[in-house]
Copies of this chain bind each other. A is one copy, B any other.
Amino acid sequence: MEAISYDRPSVIALLRKHGIAPTHQRLEIAQVLFGRCHHLSADQVLAKVNESQAETSKATVYNTLNLFRDLGLIREVIVDPKRVLYDPNTEPHHHLYNVDTGEITDIDAGALSVSGLPELPTGMVTEGVDIIVRVRASEASLG
């Protein structure tokens, strides 16, 4: 397991290691993603990056998110039918999804095991197993 540092030089090194140029926009986006543990949507990334001053366009945010995803630097989380979220945590883990608030929490995959998965059809390989625990506030707690 490889810890990702969030300071600028480390991010620059990380991008170079993956063969992509560490442009100003990519660094800004990387820092927004890695600088917090939240799961962010493309729109949220765009807003954060341009918070103090306009830095990047919508197209660049989408380009960069897809690039980072292809390089394995971030993961897509498909849980909310309205939008894709991006997860800076690339360690094996699953998600707890609050259907009322939209809030997402990580579940470490270490403690968790799944048994009884069926054989895959010949010629197929598993790319990943996503587990989503959908939760909501109980009736009692809404009193």
Instruction: Give chain B residues whose Cβ lies under 8 Å from the Cβ of A137.
Output: 123-125
Contact call A133/B126, Cβ cutoff below 8 A: yes
Whether a CB of chain B sits under 8 angstroms from the CB of A114 is: yes
CB distance from A39 to the nearest CB of B (A): 14
Stretch at the interface among A1-9, A18-26, A47-55, A74-82: A74-82
Q: A116-B112, A135-B127 are in contact. Are A78 and B79 (CB under 8 A)?
A: yes
Contact call A131/B114, Cβ cutoff below 8 A: yes
A114 to B127, CA, bound (A): 19
Instruction: Give chain B residues whose Cβ lies under 8 Å from the Cβ of A80.
Output: 78
Copies in the complex: 2
Closest to A95 in B: B130
Whether a CB of chain B sits under 8 angstroms from the CB of A12 is: no
Contact call B135/A124, Cβ cutoff below 8 A: yes
Contact of A81 among B76, B112, B131 (CB under 8 A): B76
Q: A84-B81, A111-B116 are in contact. Are A134 and B138 (CB under 8 A)?
A: no
